[in-house]
Amino acid sequence: MRAGRATATSRSPPDPIMRIEVTRPFCIDGNRKEAGEQFDVDKRFGRELIHNGKAREVVEAPAAEVVAEAPVAPRRKKAEAA
DSSP string, the chain: --TT---TT--PPPPPEEEEEESS-EEETTEEE-TT-EEEEEHHHHHHHHHTTSEEE--PPPPPPP-PPPPPPPPPPPPPP-
pTM of the complete model: 0.58
Q: Which residue has the higher pLDDT, 4 or 44?
A: 44
pLDDT in tens, 7-63: 556 677 777 999 999 999 999 999 999 999 999 999 999 999 999 999 999 988 776
